[in-house]
Structure 1
């Protein structure tokens, strides 16, 4: 089957065509992503109104290009999938409304995809990972440890109680006058820094519940930067290296706690999947590889182009749902919030 995927939940306008063969093998025929980084850089973060307007202006052309690169006539599609949330509601509306229009005109099924589920299922496209597995989803807007037990069957084991990991990188970069996006800028600066110069806290370390906290660490960076002001380039490098080292230690410790909790709800994981934009950080990858060796567990990280927001992950999630007979009506609503694990959301835990 051939599925078009549309992603507009934040500041990437993306569309892709993915094929799912009868043997379960998936292939990405096209994956077109238009980044809005330049539009938001002056503000040090994503401005929702600017993002939504940019999606409106670009999406038709991105879809057209995705179909052309896939050499797929639009009427050859078997379904149209779009991220229906969670995300910036203006952008979500643009993508979902476009998908509804295409599905209506083509007479094809519509699949409203949870953006988080798309991240969760990507390793099944890239590595054919079998259920169940542990997912660490770390991005600018989300930080979660999830037991992926099957399609639509997710147990959130832990989440952040304040900032997402990617958000903490961005805010630290802004504090130190580094460019946006902050994650790559902090990682680059850290290469020239001393990770032992500043003794930053490792929030939540050692606690049995696999939750994360970043606000205290972020505050510690601000306090140290203020104490030694004015900061030199070497000071900035050392602050970044020490901050990043603390984040790596925290992620490894929290993921270790998540593995213990995973076995209570899903047995033995087939692997640990690391997804989301933060997964591109090499120091974090190395830390998790060490954890994998310690636990005897394979670490799966999709290619960087499929870790950040993209249309291929939406198309693949749509293909898996279509195969299972799960489609949606044209009255489906966009959602700013949409928890993978409804029971965790109902219990009042941070989504």
Structure 2
């Protein structure tokens, strides 16, 4: 006699897929409430628990074990599909109902969610028109369709057949949504050089289109017309507005050059960036600016220069100049080679590791590229 733990876990183990995301498919049966006789499933489970020295109510034990298993799978990053004969009205949303308790762990009945208000009895002796069977899914499972078969439509059974159609690629994590067309703005107020360059380009563009004089002329015409804008004046204004917008956008595109990802990343190249960051933040502190002492300690630990505090301003400036020179040389001659060696080592290490998913291995082999 299996426990409710076995009912759930054994059904799921054979359904795990080792892709970028695990999908656990569970088939479960919840015993009917207490009936007469010792041959009912409820009575058999109670007898089994008593033989183990445990006084447990089978239906509640089933719920506790099921919810614990689902929570564990979700914590491991799995998506879950649960097909269950709940022996309870799964339309009910009371706090103690089967449906609500599954909602509390992030699962929703897929068929009722797609067809709200349209229900049918799923057991032929049920005269109330309430379903007691359901297919519950987590939010990561994309359900495209679902419904009920008629009784004995494809197989002989006293229950209806339930079905759902899911997007397997999305559910297993293989689906990659398209990248947003939005690009980060190049104009940032903290970059004074970019701001100065932007203003210069805007002024140059405005003069090229004679925008200041045309705006002044339009303003004069508006005053002569007692503040009423005619159709011709409106067209002139819209033309000016569009030209000003184009000038500003072109100026932003040219105000700052973004070089993210242009330098192949490797731990050796990261050392250059960390050392330069350390010298810069120490020099900033010497100028009386507020800096983070915790960040300084972390950088000193990373670059293994514990005496960086003791260096004078002249020594810090000299160290920064030398590191910049070394960085430029490394970027030109060694960055690509170091990156290739780093990936080779990572690939060798990955063969010795046990991966939970293919995505985890890919992420390990392709760390974020530093700028």
Asked if TM exceeds 0.5, the reply is no
Q: Give the shorter-chain TM-score range.
A: under 0.3
Greater RCO, CA 8 A, separation 6+: 1
TM, length-normalised to structure 2: 0.21
TM, length-normalised to structure 1: 0.22
Which one has a bigger Cα radius of gyration? 2
The structure that is strand-richer by fraction is: 1
